[in-house]
Chains A and B, each alone.
Chain A
Amino acid sequence: MENGEAVVQLKGVRRLDAAVSTPLRIVIAKPGLDGHDRGAKIVARALRDGGHEVIYTGLRRTPEQIVRTVMDEDADLLGLSSLSGAHDFLFPRVCALLVEAELVDVVVFGGGIIPEADRAPLLEAGIRAIFGPGTTIEEMLAFVSEVSARRASGEPSGVGEGGDWTWQGTGAV
């Protein structure tokens, strides 16, 4: 998304006083042994306020349980949060299991404490965006909005759909 386009233009948001469209379903998950979910809850709440249906898994889920939730809930997006340092194993594992389960069109994003050096392999595993501390709610919603636009136009954005698109931020600091 270009600079200046950061104004949140949410596709999929249905307001009762606006045209009816279908909200996106987003799973927010905490994989592994990590008891910190303040960030995940804030993200869940922000996405809810952006007009989406957010399913929060609760703490300490295995990759298998997360994939099961994504499947059963017919989710469009999956947000993974980790502050334990195990993201380098857990995130790619979830991505691989999603592809194995033929959930290739699910768009995966990550957040938490992810060192710069760890980002490239995660993006390579199919994660499309990584949000660290300081990310604004507006940026998260802009990401979801862009994902929605890409899906609508058939551009690859899912975990198993290939292509080299990753979220480059809104340009806002």
Chain B
Amino acid sequence: MDAETAHAAAKAGDRRSLARLLTLIETGEANGVQLGFSSRAEDGRILGVTGSPGVGKSCLVDRLLHEWAAAGERVAVLAIDPSSPVTGGALLGDRIRMQAADDLDEVYVRSVATRNQPGGLPVRLAAMAEALLDCGYDRVVVETVGTGQAEVRIVAVADRVLLVEGPARGDSIQAEKAGLLELADIVAVNKADLDGADRFAEEIRGSLELTGEAPPVLLVSALEGTGIPELVSALGQLGPARVAQRARWRERLLSEWEAALLTREDLDELLDRLESGDTSVSDIVETFYRGGG
């Protein structure tokens, strides 16, 4: 199936073609420019969901999917898990906790490995998200790995960021250290069913107030389903993105720069030459700058 055929069929609602199209984009065999969906208004339809491993991102996303689907929205999820830097393999397990993925026709979930960007975001992620919007999904959720540079880089792809936090992860200083609070347009403190969740939420609120324009902090329990309608409603009323446009451009630039490097056909050759001492990192960078690369 070629990209144009897959794109046309996907736009007409064929899931198999949509899945195929995403594969073609992921491997670089198709792109948004060629298929006509490369530019997009930053209208808040791409939501990044981030937070440390184990805070309950996938379970919470599952709850949100059920709410949105019940309200008649079509929602797609790109669930990212890391590829091994050694073998390139990946174990993609976010689906296990997303019942909606298997049961609701309004929902499409795709597991995405980071591939040649082991600690970051998949290089074609933005194009995959744009393809889903172009194919009729009202909203795209990008769930990140939960660690590493990808957490900051998510603002290069997502219009808004939901940070999921949980109690029993030490005090709120841990959350501040990570720097993620500064990116969040909204914070959900999950596991409200556990002791100490409300106190943890208060601590986060307190620390956010110091920064002026504070994002909303909500208590939710993905396990019990409490606070979910409130979260959906708050997500629907978010103001402009908190991350400055300049910072967003910075992450996009870095993201595109890395993608351009990682998808170079001569990347292996360059690595070979570095390994054999034939060239140096600074020589290669110099060549790129001069436009020779």
Which listed segment binds B: A17-25, A111-119, A122-130, A165-173? A17-25
Contact bitstring B48-72, A, C-beta under 8 A = 1, else 0: 0000000000000000000000000
- Count chain A residues whose beta carbon lies closer than 8 angstroms to a beta carbon of B: 36
- B273 at the binding interface (Cβ < 8 Å): no
| A74 in contact with B87 (CB, 8 Å) | no
| A23 in contact with B89 (CB, 8 Å) | yes
Q: A55-B111, A61-B102, A102-B16 are in contact. Are A16 and B88 (CB under 8 A)?
A: yes
Chain B residues, Cβ within 8 Å of A56: 91-93, 95-96
| B268 in contact with A20 (CB, 8 Å) | yes
- B271 at the binding interface (Cβ < 8 Å): yes
- B137 at the binding interface (Cβ < 8 Å): no
Most chain B CB within 10 A, of A44, A45, A53, is at A53
User: Of residues 82 to 106 in B, which have CB atoms within 8 Å of A's CB atoms?
Assistant: 83-93, 95-97, 101-103
| A101 in contact with B16 (CB, 8 Å) | yes
| B95 in contact with A74 (CB, 8 Å) | no
Chain A residues, Cβ within 8 Å of B267: 20
Chain B residues, Cβ within 8 Å of A15: 86-88
| A13 in contact with B88 (CB, 8 Å) | yes
Chain B residues, Cβ within 8 Å of A69: 95, 101-102
Chain B residues, Cβ within 8 Å of A103: 16
User: In the assembly, what is the distance between CA of A103 and CA of B1, in Å?
Assistant: 13
User: In the assembly, what is the distance between CA of A73 and CA of B111, in Å?
Assistant: 7
- B22 at the binding interface (Cβ < 8 Å): yes
Question: What is the predominant secondary structure among interface residues of chain B facing chain A?
Answer: mixed
User: In the assembly, what is the distance between CA of A48 and CA of B93, in Å?
Assistant: 12
Give the residue of B87, B92, B96, B268 whose beta carbon is less than 8 angstroms from that of A51.
B87
User: Of residues 42 to 78 in A, which have CB atoms within 8 Å of B's CB atoms?
Assistant: 44-45, 47-58, 61, 65, 68-69, 71-74
- B15 at the binding interface (Cβ < 8 Å): yes
Chain B residues, Cβ within 8 Å of A14: 88, 115-116
User: Of residues 233 to 291 in B, which have CB atoms within 8 Å of A's CB atoms?
Assistant: 267-268, 271
- B205 at the binding interface (Cβ < 8 Å): no
| B16 in contact with A71 (CB, 8 Å) | yes
- Count chain B residues whose beta carbon lies closer than 8 angstroms to a beta carbon of A: 35
User: In the assembly, what is the distance between CA of A22 and CA of B103, in Å?
Assistant: 29
Q: Quote the shortest CB–CB distance from A130 to chain B (angstroms).
A: 23
Give the residue of B87, B88, B89, B108 whose beta carbon is less than 8 angstroms from that of A72.
B108
Contact bitstring A1-27, B, C-beta under 8 A = 1, else 0: 000000000000111111110110100
Chain B residues, Cβ within 8 Å of A13: 87-89
Chain A residues, Cβ within 8 Å of B164: none
- B19 at the binding interface (Cβ < 8 Å): yes
| B20 in contact with A74 (CB, 8 Å) | yes
Q: A68-B102, A101-B16 are in contact. Are A23 and B110 (CB under 8 A)?
A: no
| A17 in contact with B15 (CB, 8 Å) | no
17 sample A-B contacts, Cβ–Cβ < 8 Å, listed by A number: A16-B85, A17-B271, A22-B27, A23-B89, A23-B115, A48-B84, A50-B89, A51-B88, A54-B91, A55-B95, A57-B95, A58-B95, A58-B96, A68-B101, A72-B101, A72-B108, A101-B16
The 7 tightest CB contacts between A and B, nearest first, are A58-B96, A65-B102, A74-B19, A48-B89, A14-B88, A51-B87, A55-B92
**Given contact pairs A48-B87, A57-B102, A71-B16, a sample of 20 additional A-B residue pairs in the complex whose CB atoms are under 8 Å apart:** A15-B88, A18-B268, A23-B88, A23-B113, A44-B91, A47-B89, A48-B89, A49-B87, A50-B89, A51-B88, A55-B92, A55-B95, A56-B92, A57-B96, A65-B103, A72-B108, A73-B19, A73-B110, A74-B20, A103-B16
